[in-house]
Amino acid sequence: MKGFELEKFQVPFTTDVETFLNSITIGADPEFYPLNKRREGGESTNWMKKFYNHINECKVPLIKRMIGYDNLNDSNYQLDDSYDSQYLEMRPGYFKSIPEIMQKLQWMITYAYTKGLLMDVTTDDTIGAHIHIGHEYSSPNVTTARSYIGKFLAYFVGNPLYSLNPEGRINSYYAQTDNLCSQSYGEEYKVLSSRILLSPKLTFICFNLVKEIITHVYLSGSHPDFLIYTTILRSNIKSTNYSEDNSNISIPSVEEYTQFGIDRKEFFDEIKKVKTMADQNIVLSDSWLGLKL
């Protein structure tokens, strides 16, 4: 790390470090557009109703209609024939490790496929792969800590992945790369497009980065193993909309990604791969079925 500036955040931390680390969970609610096996949309067709009947058999709502649609009866997940252009979201739950949530997502994608439903994330809309990090954390300066987290998430995750946003998402609330929402369980990062799920490898990297950055920021002021190294000052971290042709936006170096266990080349290669896949007729089952995780 020679030549790197050490950023040690003085955030008072009153939760026991081991308690905090043991409390961390990762969840997500990736949104998608439903297609049938012929890769056709058709929210009012019999195949969709049949799929919802299968959902009703599950005690946990693994896949549900996005919140906010008035025509949805959330108690039984029935389809309203009069409503058009519906999106769904996966609800895998919360897990202690990233491999666990990856396996659950794979199970859900495979389950949907066997019931005649394909998941499209290439649509030109605002659908996102929201990432949830739960934990037990106590600090009088939690707001300050979260402002740091937002900046670092923008720097390491949101800005490099901004180019995956479809046109319909670019100018939305979700496209602000430092958009970090405080939740009762911890934090939710809503910035990333659902297109990241086209690559299981990229999905894994994004989950890992978000989890590690949040962990490091909260512990960096009290635990030497979680100090954050960066080549730029906090005040210079850009946290607004990013575009590849914007030379004023800094992208982390190989060494900066290495501190979080991320191979920078692999990360950016997967981003390029997904950009190509998004232009093709690719659904999630094409990437996830039969994959050994």
pLDDT in tens, 27-46: 998 988 888 788 877 554 55
> Which of 93-97, 105-109, 136-140, 175-179 shows the lowest mean pLDDT across its residues?
136-140
The arithmetic mean of pLDDT across residues 86-104, rounded, is 88
DSSP readout, 78-117? BPPTT--S--EEE---EESSHHHHHHHHHHHHHHHHHTT-
CA 274 to chain centre: 15
Q: How far apart are CA 9 and CA 234, in angstroms?
A: 10
Closest C-alpha among 3, 21, 4, 25 to residue 13: 21
CB–CB of 256/229 below 8 Å? yes
Q: When comparing pLDDT for 256 and 171, which is higher? A: 256
Give the per-residue pLDDT at 112. Answer: 82
List, edge to edge, every strand of the sheet that includes 25-28.
94-95, 25-28, 131-134, 186-189, 180-183
Kindly state the tokens that stand for 55. Answer: 């959902």
Single pTM value for the model: 0.82
User: What number is the average pLDDT over the span 37-66?
Assistant: 60
**What pLDDT sits at residue 34?**
82
5-288 folds as: Creatine Kinase; Chain A, domain 2 (3.30.590)
Residue 36's closest CA among 115, 106, 99? 115
pLDDT exceeds cutoff 50 at 155: yes
15 pLDDT above the threshold of 70: no
Instruction: Using pLDDT thresholds of 50, 70 and 90, give the confidence band for residue 115.
Output: confident
Mean pLDDT of the chain: 75
Structure tokens belonging to residue 289: 């079925």
Amino acid residing at 222: S
Please give the Cα distance from 283 to 104 (Å, whole number): 17
Best CA proximity match to 154, nearest among 137, 168, 174:
174
Alpha carbons 20 and 184: distance in angstroms, whole number:
15
Tokens 């960066």 correspond to 230
Contact 27, 98 (CB under 8 A): no
Stretch 64-68: mean pLDDT, rounded? 46
pLDDT > 90: percent of the chain: 26
| DSSP single-letter state for residue 158 | I
- Distance (Å, rounded) from C-alpha 205 to C-alpha 84? 34
Q: What is the pLDDT of residues 235-259, one digit of tens each?
A: 455 544 444 444 456 778 888 899 8
Block residue for tokens 């056709």:
40
Band of residue 215 on the pLDDT scale cut at 50, 70, 90: confident
Amino acid 265: pLDDT: 96
Q: What is the DSSP letter of 26?
A: E
Instruction: Select the highest-mean-pLDDT range: 21-25, 142-146, 162-166.
Output: 21-25
